[in-house]
Amino acid sequence: MMKRIKQFSRALVAKGPSEDENKILKKYLTLEAEKYFRSMTIPDQRHVLNVFYTANELQKNKKLPVDNFLLNRCCLLHDIGRGRKMTTFCKTFSVILDKLCHRWAVRRGDSKEKFLGDMLYHYYHHAELSATILRNIGMKEEASIVELHHHDEEKLKELYQQGNKIAGSNELKILKEADDLN
């Protein structure tokens, strides 16, 4: 609960990328990828930048072998599937609905209802939506990681045992941990 309160508070005071952060975006993102980054709400932009910083700190401390360029792109783009539709209000409302009536909210998110169905669909499926966008702009490796970043450890272990090497990658592990911390 405290994590969600912290997330909400951060979203209310979030600021867009600084001049130095814009240089980071130029370093890691193509023009097309940056367009999708900028299509997110300011709180989501701040969130993925915080995930970027946390992932880099985790990588430095853990010293796991990773492709840092790939990891950084994944951090900066892992939530692009939310787009502008997932405002702070929508995310907060989705979290509350999920906690109070999970099965109902999941069913509603799979419905064709305009506001509520669309909002819950983006809440539950933003990782897959992000991966689809990434594949469409030629970032297949990033898409494979981003698509799995909300799967639980049991599901990832199962996927890895079935031959999905991404499910066991250090880039995915660090992205998941950094996202969970933010």
Q: What is the pLDDT of residue 144?
A: 96
Would 176 be classed as within a structural domain? yes
The Cα–Cα gap between 96 and 88 comes to 12
Would 110 be classed as within a structural domain? no
C-alpha torsion 10→16→18→22, nearest 10? 130
Q: What is the pLDDT of residue 76?
A: 98
Would you say 9 and 49 are in contact if contact means Cβ atoms under 8 Å apart?
A: no
Would 56 be classed as within a structural domain? yes
Would 13 be classed as within a structural domain? no
The Cα–Cα gap between 102 and 123 comes to 12
DSSP-H helix ranges across 40-114: 42-62, 68-77, 88-100, 102-109
Write the DSSP symbol of residue 40: S
Angle (deg, nearest 10), helices 31-39 and 19-28: 130
Q: Which residues contact 50 (CB under 8 A, 6 or more apart)?
A: 10, 182
Would 104 be classed as within a structural domain? no
Would 171 be classed as within a structural domain? yes
pTM: 0.90
Q: Domain residues for 69? A: 28-84+126-180
- The tally of domains found in the chain comes to 1
Give the residues of the chain that fall short of pLDDT 70: 1
Q: What is the pLDDT of residue 112?
A: 74
Would 140 be classed as within a structural domain? yes
Would 23 be classed as within a structural domain? no
